[in-house]
Amino acid sequence: MDNNTKIPVHVSIIMDGNGRWARERGQERVFGHKKGIGSVRASLQAAAEAGVKYLSLYAFSEENWNRPQEEVDYLMKLMFQAISDEVEELMRNGVRFRVLGNRARLNPVLLDAIRSLEETTRDNTTIDLIIFLSYSGRWDIFQAARKMALEYLSRPDGAAEIEAMNDPALFSRYLVTDGIPDPDLIIRTSGEQRLSNYLLWQGAYSEFVFVDKMWPDFGKEDFFAALSEFASRDRRYGKVK
């Protein structure tokens, strides 16, 4: 890429199309999920090479728990195996690993593996890899509102403090993404053009790039192409330039 290209600080990807990719090849949906791990590695490599500081991936939504139990079980096992396999690679490349979402729904074995990898990589500074697991935008906003209400209503003048608030940014502190910059760019694969209940608050001013390829076919060149498209955009945030 051109060194003068505008590089987004945070790129987020809705990894869509694994199941359809597998069916087109006469395989079970889980085959597509397994092949999609290669696209995760390729995207992480491309992001690090380009100087992106945060790469987040929508891996499993709250709604995905309604999928067939066999597929859900496989996805959880695949996540556990991927964590086990990638420790040395993440450390070698300075990747900080984090998982955000409704952790209460994750099984204890996977949760322990996640906590261990987060602790192992916490001091890495090249790039943050954030996996959204058991996550949805509405759930995030709801849990944030509940957390905020409980905190303020426990104070003597909490209700008055809430009524006097006029800065929406204060609410962001209660989202699971607290301390992480909002995504500058959201990429979605498979040709679908919707958010699917993902980062509804955080994506308010994100640029979107929709890619026709299914996730298992998404490679480094596609990531760089999305960055080039982002660089061509004029971001005004509602202002006039």
Rounded distance between C-alpha atoms, residue 141 and residue 137, angstroms: 6
Long-range contacts of 106-114 (CB under 8 A, 24+ apart): 106/76, 106/133, 106/134, 107/76, 109/80, 110/76, 110/79, 110/80, 110/83, 113/80, 113/83, 113/84, 114/83
Q: Which two tokens stand for residue 198?
A: 């993902």
Q: At 61, is the secondary structure helix, strand, or coil? A: strand
Q: What sign for the dihedral angle of Cα 105, 106, 111, 117?
A: negative
Catalytically annotated residue among 2, 16, 102, 197: 16
Q: How many other CB atoms sit within 10 Å of the CB of residue 135?
A: 25
Catalytic residue among 2, 3, 64, 140: 64
Outline where the chain has alpha helix (H). Answer: 18-24, 29-50, 69-92, 108-121, 137-153, 158-164, 169-172, 220-231
Residue 16 bears catalytic tag: yes
Structure letter (DSSP) for residue 55: E
The CB-based long-range contact list for 205-208 (8 Å cut-off, 24+ gap) reads 205/235, 205/237, 206/12, 206/182, 207/8, 207/233, 207/235
> Which are the catalytic amino acids?
16, 64
